[in-house]
Amino acid sequence: MNSYFYKFMINLLKRFSSERKLLEARGAFIIRQLCLLLNAENIFHSMADILLREEDLKFASTMVHTLNTILLTSSELFQLRSQLKDLRTLGGRAAERPPQCPGLALSEHQAQAVDLRLQLLDVKNNPFLIKALYGLLMLLPQSSAFQLLSHRLQCVPNPELLQTE
């Protein structure tokens, strides 16, 4: 990676750290636009590298959550999601590596949740998974679990919109 690019990413994360309202209001948009204009893999890799050394673990956790949300829901990152899915399939398990920063390490449970979310984005190959989750949603009482699952299912791409024929 170019040293100017890396310095830019450091400064962007410093700005997000010092101006949390900017992160909340425009952070996802800024990162998505950068991913459109530059290499998304380099952006996520450099941010992960910088966040590993971040001393403010609360900010690092917020930033990781923001990056995960962008990665799992943004149409601009479809290719990167596919690459990660392929890596996961090949056995590259982040949860099996010793954590360098306990607050940022993925547990096996979190890794499985990421796999499930990636499968939800692949509507064509997982229609029964989505139908099962909608069935489960109908059985849940109106609670925080219901709200969470309902919100996740709202992020699932519409199969009719994916058809190009």
State the DSSP string of the chain.
--HHHHHHHHHHHHHHHH-HHHIIIIIHHHHHHHHHHS-HHHHHHHHHHHHHT-S-HHHHHHHHHHHHHHHHH-GGGHHHHHHHHHHHHTT--GGGSPPSSTTTPPPHHHHHHHHHHHHHH-TTT-HHHHHHHHHHHHHS-SSHHHHHHHHHHHTSPPHHHH---
What is the extent of the structural domain holding 91? 3-105
d(CA 91, CA 88): 5
pLDDT of 97:
47
Q: Would 67 be classed as within a structural domain?
A: yes
Q: Would 50 be classed as within a structural domain?
A: yes
State the 10-residue block means of pLDDT for the chain, 165 residues long: 88 94 92 91 89 89 87 81 66 46 52 69 75 80 82 73 54
Q: How many CA atoms does the CB half-sphere of 101 hold within 13 Å?
A: 16
pLDDT of 138:
84
Number of domains in the chain: 1
pLDDT of 140:
78
Q: Would 92 be classed as within a structural domain?
A: yes
Q: Would 133 be classed as within a structural domain?
A: no
Q: Would 17 be classed as within a structural domain?
A: yes
Q: Would 157 be classed as within a structural domain?
A: no
d(CA 35, CA 66): 14
Question: Global pTM?
Answer: 0.56
Q: Would 96 be classed as within a structural domain?
A: yes
pLDDT of 144:
83
Q: Would 148 be classed as within a structural domain?
A: no
